[in-house]
């Protein structure tokens, strides 16, 4: 019985929590962009990829741990995101939403091509070597990198909570998310809010990319593969609801991992190759059953 419970925890629950934490970071940035800028940013996944490659390069140059170079990678990714906003999104700010969506799709392809041109298409490892898990109670096996990922994601989530709840710019972001016109009339600098949205979204996307690279590896399609579950987490939690994005990310991550557990018999309930289908199924079901999401987000 202990062996069965240990397998469930070690190989499904803990990986699900790790994956859910990464999804949550990506979903927070996406839901803020969706809620404040009013468009679905398809280039968000490539922002994660860019952050991972920045971190990989910094690790190669300095020899530091990926977490040590994470703040620098976040800053570099933020600078790129602000440049993209000024050069490509700002001219379309007053355009119909579909124009921005198409622009973000084109930006996704351009950023991916630039990444492939600079770093190549070979799979890279951000932290070489094999880490032995720490064994507790003779059955619980915890990898040090999983502890780092969960801890880093938790710290960043609490930092976002503090920023949104207790700072002036956070309150302005919440006001603009509720009503851009009313926020403008009350004297809120909407352009400053837009910049803050890109800064937070890009920083969290970079963190998600680096943590995923720490857990797996670095490749040019990693952000694109994350896009569907991150969108699913955003919709599940409720568009424009950062706390909903956290809950949605954790639910999607856990659901993907637990779907391959042998609940009936000895074979996986669902082939691990179809994990992405779990996120898609949850997203479709939520759109049909409750489009506003679990936290009653916006419905456009």
**Domain layout of the chain by residue ranges:** 2-122+140-289
Residue 236 corresponds to which tokens in the numbers above? 């599940």
131 close to 144: Cβ distance less than 8 angstroms: yes
- Return the pLDDT at 151: 95
- In degrees and rounded to multiples of 5, residue 29 shows phi and psi of -60, -40
Residue 159 corresponds to which tokens in the numbers above? 């930092």
- When computed from its CA atoms, the radius of gyration of the chain, rounded to whole angstroms, is 19
Q: Which CATH architecture has domain 2-122+140-289?
A: Orthogonal Bundle (1.10)
- In degrees and rounded to multiples of 5, residue 220 shows phi and psi of -70, -20
- Return the pLDDT at 86: 92
Residue 65 corresponds to which tokens in the numbers above? 């741990």
Tell me the C-alpha distance between 136 and 121, whole Å: 39
- Return the pLDDT at 297: 67
Strand partners, 135: 141
Please name the residues in contact with 47: beta carbons below 8 A apart, sequence gap of 6 or more.
29, 77, 80, 81, 111, 201, 202, 205, 206, 209, 223
Q: Which of 200, 207, 208, 193 is nearest to 242 (CA)?
A: 200
Strand partners, 142: 134
pLDDT per position as a tens digit, 35-60: 888 888 999 999 999 999 999 999 99
Please name the residues in contact with 175: beta carbons below 8 A apart, sequence gap of 6 or more.
182, 183, 186, 188
Tell me the C-alpha distance between 44 and 105, whole Å: 10
The torsion of the CA quartet 222, 276, 200, 87, rounded to 10 degrees, works out to 60
45 close to 179: Cβ distance less than 8 angstroms: no
Tens place of pLDDT for every residue, the chain, 300 residues?
A: 555 666 778 788 999 999 999 999 999 989 998 888 888 899 999 999 999 999 999 999 999 999 999 999 999 999 999 999 999 998 888 888 889 999 999 999 999 999 999 999 999 999 876 677 777 777 778 888 999 999 999 999 999 999 988 999 998 988 888 777 787 888 888 889 999 999 999 999 999 999 999 999 999 999 999 999 999 999 998 888 888 999 999 999 999 988 887 777 677 777 777 887 888 888 888 888 888 887 776 655
222 close to 49: Cβ distance less than 8 angstroms: yes
pLDDT per position as a tens digit, 16-37: 999 999 999 999 989 998 888 8
- In degrees and rounded to multiples of 5, residue 188 shows phi and psi of -75, 135
- In degrees and rounded to multiples of 5, residue 264 shows phi and psi of -125, 115
Tell me the C-alpha distance between 270 and 41, whole Å: 30
Tell me the C-alpha distance between 188 and 181, whole Å: 10
Vertex 293 angle, CA 290 and 297, to 5° = 120
DSSP code at position 87: I
Predicted TM-score (pTM) of the model is 0.92
- Return the pLDDT at 113: 95
């Amino acid at each position: 019985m202990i062996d069965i419970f240990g397998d469930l925890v070690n190989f499904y629950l803990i990986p699900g929590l790790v994956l859910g934490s990464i999804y949550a970071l990506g979903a927070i940035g996406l839901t803020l962009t969706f809620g404040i800028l009013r468009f679905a940013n398809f280039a968000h996944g490539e922002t994660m990829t860019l952050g991972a490659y920045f971190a990989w390069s910094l690790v190669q140059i300095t020899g530091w741990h990926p977490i040590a170079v994470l703040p620098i990678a976040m800053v570099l990714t933020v600078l790129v995101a602000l440049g993209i906003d000024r050069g490509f999104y700002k001219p379309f700010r007053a355009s119909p939403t579909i124009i921005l969506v198409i622009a973000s799709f084109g930006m996704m392809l351009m950023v991916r091509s630039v990444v492939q041109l600079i770093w190549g298409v070979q799979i890279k490892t951000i932290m070489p070597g094999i880490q032995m898990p720490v064994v507790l109670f003779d059955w619980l096996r915890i990898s040090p990198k999983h502890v780092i990922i969960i801890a880093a994601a938790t710290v960043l989530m609490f930092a976002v909570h503090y920023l949104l709840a207790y700072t002036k710019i956070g309150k302005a972001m919440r006001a603009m998310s509720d009503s851009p016109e009313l926020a403008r009339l009350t004297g809120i600098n909407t352009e400053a809010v837009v910049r803050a949205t890109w800064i937070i979204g890009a920083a969290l996307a970079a963190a998600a990319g680096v943590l995923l690279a720490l857990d797996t590896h670095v490749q040019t399609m990693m952000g694109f593969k994350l896009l569907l579950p991150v969108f699913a987490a955003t919709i599940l939690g409720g568009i424009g609801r950062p706390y909903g994005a956290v809950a949605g990310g954790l639910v999607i991550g856990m659901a993907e991992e637990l779907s391959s557990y042998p609940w009936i018999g000895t074979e996986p309930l669902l082939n691990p190759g179809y994990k992405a289908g779990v996120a898609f199924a949850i997203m479709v079901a939520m759109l049909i059953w409750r489009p506003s999401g679990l936290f009653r987000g916006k419905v456009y």
